[in-house]
Each structure stands twice: as structure tokens, then as C-alpha cells.
């Protein structure tokens, strides 16, 4: 079919697999940052300090409505202007972690808000401290609602890691591009990248759904 060369595919496959590792690492590290930071953003919007709530809310809106690509460039290039030099990996993780933290904070917020008022009141009646309330009563019940959103964004962050290629993170698309320009052949590398993404994201979506079901059963829902 059209000039597709299998021996070229075999030749470049090891490099693409290494790059796949980097893609997974970037997605995993970015997601870990987003999980923690997202919780901070979500809880900051529930404090009684109106100014803090307002600032965090607007910040989250701002990040959510501007392109991740631009944010990656911003983090990477603005640091050096003020004497702070960040490596591509560091700035990439900051940008993508921050971007998805904003999405996840909305997911958490939805989850927390779905917990009925009575649960809060019951926790107060038991004289729980605020940390106890969140840890023992609210968050365990917020998780089932938040899970599907969290799973979607895990796949989402994986599919957004190719943008890190623009600042030189050696993930899949970056490597495919270098292979393409070294050999003047883009058909195989880019098609292979597409296939690798499908091979990861389709099973991942299935696994996440399975995991979601298990957590729900475990929590007795």
C-alpha cells in the first residue's frame, strides 16, 4: 500500500518505544502534579476568605480558557527573562500540571458539592474538626462523583503531552519529527505515533471504567 516500508518501521520502532516511555512519564508526572494542585485550588475556593476564593476562581477560569500550547511557551520563555532558567521537562511539567490542575479542581468541586448538606451537619454534630470532616466524611463520598471526570482527564493529559514537543521534550511527536526530518519520511513515524496513541488510550479508557466500577462497589454504591 502506497510506499509504506515495513523495514523502516522496524528500524525506527526502538526509538519510538523509548519516546513512548517519555510520553507516559510526562503524562504521569503532570497528572500527579495536577491531582495535588487541583485539590489545593478546589479547597481554596471553599475557604471563607472571599478575596482568595475570587482570585483562585478567576485564575482557574483564565487557565481553562487559554491554550495549553501558549502556556507552555509562557512558562518556558518568561523564566529566563527574569534570570530563572527552567529545563524543558521542568517547565513542561509546570505548564501541563497547572493546566490540568485547573480542570481537576472543577471536577473535585463538583464532587464535593454533590455531597448532601446533611453530611456536613452530621459531621459538625459529631464535633469533628474541619480536617476530620473532609478526610473522614466528605472526600470519601465526593470521590465516586469525581472519578469519571478524573479518568477522562488522565486520558486527556496523555493526549496533550505532544504539545511538550515544542519546547524540546523528547516525547513521541518530537522523536517522530526528528526521524521524519532525518530520513525525509514522515508517513511511517507519524502514522506509528497515531497507532501508539490509540494502543494506549483505548485500553486506558477501558481500564479506567473498570477501576471506577470497582471503587464504586468498594464504597458500597
Partner 1 sequence: MIIFDFLAQYWPRLLSGTGVTIAQFFLAAVLGIAISLAMGLMKLSQNRILRGAAITYIEIFRGTSLLVQLYWIFFVLPLFGVSIDKFTAGYVAVGMNIGAYGAELVRGGILSVPRGQWEAALAINMSPARRMWRIILPQALVNMLPPWGNLMIELLKGTALVSLISVADLMFQAKQINGSTFLSAQVFGTALVIYYILARFLVTPFMRWLERAMARKLGKV
Is residue 22 near partner 1 by the rule CB under 8 A? Answer: no
- Pick from 64, 85, 136, 209: which binds partner 1 (CB under 8 A)? 64
Is residue 6 near partner 1 by the rule CB under 8 A? Answer: no
- Going by C-alpha positions, the residue among 77, 217, 208, 105 that lies closest to residue 147 is 208
Is residue 207 near partner 1 by the rule CB under 8 A? Answer: no
Is residue 160 near partner 1 by the rule CB under 8 A? Answer: yes
Residue 25: what are its φ and ψ, rounded to 5°?
Answer: -65, -45
Grid cell digits, residue 91: 517547565
Q: What single string gives the DSSP state of each residue in 119-162?
A: HHHHHHHTT--HHHIIIIIIHHHHHHHHHHHHHHHHHHHHHHGG
For the segment 176-195, give every residue that binds partner 1 (CB under 8 A).
176-177, 180, 186-187, 190-191, 193-194
70 to 109: interface string for partner 1, x by CB under 8 A: xx-xx--xx-xxx---------------------------
Exposed, middle or buried, 144 (CB in 10 Å: 0-12/13-18/19+)? middle
Is the Cα torsion angle 98, 101, 103, 109 positive or negative in sign?
Answer: negative
In whole angstroms, the minimum distance from the beta carbon of 91 to partner 1 comes to 12
Element spanning 30, H or E: helix 6-44
- Pick from 25, 43, 68, 128: which binds partner 1 (CB under 8 A)? 68
Interacting residues toward partner 1 by CB under 8 A: 2-3, 61-62, 64-71, 73-74, 77-78, 80-82, 158-163, 165-166, 173, 176-177, 180, 186-187, 190-191, 193-194, 197-198, 201-202, 205
Amino acid at each position: 500500500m502506497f510506499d509504506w516500508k515495513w523495514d523502516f518501521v522496524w528500524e525506527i520502532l526502538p526509538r519510538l518505544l523509548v519516546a513512548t516511555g517519555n510520553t507516559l512519564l510526562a503524562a504521569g508526572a503532570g497528572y500527579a502534579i495536577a491531582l495535588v494542585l487541583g485539590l489545593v485550588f478546589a479547597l481554596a475556593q471553599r475557604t471563607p476568605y472571599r478575596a482568595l476564593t475570587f482570585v483562585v476562581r478567576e485564575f482557574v477560569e483564565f487557565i481553562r480558557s487559554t491554550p495549553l500550547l501558549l502556556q507552555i511557551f509562557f512558562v518556558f520563555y518568561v523564566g529566563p527573562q527574569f534570570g530563572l532558567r527552567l529545563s524543558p521537562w521542568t517547565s513542561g511539567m509546570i505548564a501541563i500540571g497547572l493546566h490540568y490542575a485547573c480542570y481537576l479542581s472543577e471536577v473535585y468541586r463538583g464532587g464535593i458539592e454533590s455531597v448532601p448538606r446533611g453530611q456536613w451537619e452530621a459531621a459538625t454534630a459529631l464535633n469533628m474538626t474541619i480536617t476530620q470532616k473532609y478526610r473522614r466524611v466528605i472526600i470519601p463520598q465526593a470521590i465516586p462523583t469525581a472519578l469519571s471526570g478524573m479518568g477522562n482527564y488522565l486520558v486527556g493529559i496523555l493526549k496533550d503531552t505532544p504539545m511538550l514537543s515544542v519546547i524540546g521534550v523528547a516525547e513521541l511527536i518530537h522523536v517522530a519529527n526528528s526521524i521524519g526530518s532525518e530520513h525525509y519520511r514522515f508517513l511511517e513515524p507519524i502514522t506509528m505515533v497515531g497507532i501508539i496513541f490509540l494502543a494506549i488510550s483505548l485500553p486506558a479508557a477501558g481500564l479506567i471504567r473498570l477501576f471506577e466500577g470497582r471503587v464504586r462497589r468498594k464504597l458500597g454504591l
